[in-house]
Amino acid sequence: MKTASAATDSIRSLVQTSAQRLQIAEKVALAKWYSGASVEDASREVEVIQKAVKDGTNAGLESAQVERFFKAQIEANKLIQYSLLAEWQRQGQAPEQAGANLVKEIRPQLDEIEKQLIEELKQSAAARSAKTCPSDVAKAVAEYLDSRNLKTDSREGAALDRAMGSACIR
Ligand SMILES: O=C(O)C(=O)C[C@]1(C(=O)O)C=C[C@@H](O)C=C1
């Protein structure tokens, strides 16, 4: 039988990988600042969800659950992008960094993270079905943010709560 801490560890891993996906949102925003592309790309969203559902069901996960989880990942990603782009508009400039190429460099990174998230969704299935899941997730998010000196009411905190908002199996 899995111990409570093993269950919580599996949720912690999921939170960390979800946070990694959100770090990439900053690169996406920068690429879009320079290219002028819209934050929302509906056809790419369909592609991301379809791939996740395919990989998830192959791994034995329930498709509706995988879909809800990845929709939340995308919504959180957009939240970061809109917030950063508005901040750069207010400042009249973005950080001076060469923007990475969205299609050739950034999306492949998101695709790699997708595979890891599927694996971790599988590992955390029992923990995500537990009654304590909502509070376990919320606490794991706070723990992650605290370890990086970020506040729960920061942009990153709000986005990570959003990303993990559909993680529990109801
Ligand atoms: O690939 C992009 O263009 C992104 O902005 C990333 C992402 C995602 O989270 O996967 C988020 C918003 C878009 O609507 C499509 C996909």
**Of the listed ranges 3-12, 42-51, 117-126, 134-143, the one predicted with least confidence:** 3-12
Task: Indicate whether residue 18 lines ligand 1 (CB < 6 A).
Answer: no
Of 74, 112, 160, the residue with max ligand 1 atoms within 8 A of its CB, to mutate for a pocket test, comes to: 74
Q: From ligand 1's centre to the CA of 76, what distance in Å? A: 10
Domain with 84, as residue range(s), is 4-163
Count of structural domains within the chain: 1
Write down the ipTM of this complex. 0.99
Q: What is the mean pLDDT of residues 129-153?
A: 97
Asked if residues 121 and 21 have their Cβ atoms less than 8 Å apart, the reply is: no
Is residue 168, in this structure, part of any structural domain at all? no
41 Cβ closer than 6 Å to some ligand 1 atom? yes
The pLDDT assigned to 1 comes to: 46
| Angle, CA of 25, 154 and 24, to the nearest 5° | 10
Q: What is the mean pLDDT of residues 140-145?
A: 97
CATH number at residue 123: 1.20.59.10
Atom of ligand 1 nearest to the CA of 21: 9
Percent of the chain with pLDDT over 90: 91
In a domain, 169, yes or no: no
Tell me the average pLDDT of the chain: 95
SS3 assignment, position 126: helix
- Does the structure show a pLDDT above 90 at 99? no
**Residue at 71 is within a domain:** yes
**What is the tens place of the pLDDT at every residue in 52-90?**
999 999 999 999 999 999 999 999 999 999 999 999 999
| Residue whose C-alpha is closest to residue 33's, from 97, 129, 113, 110 | 97
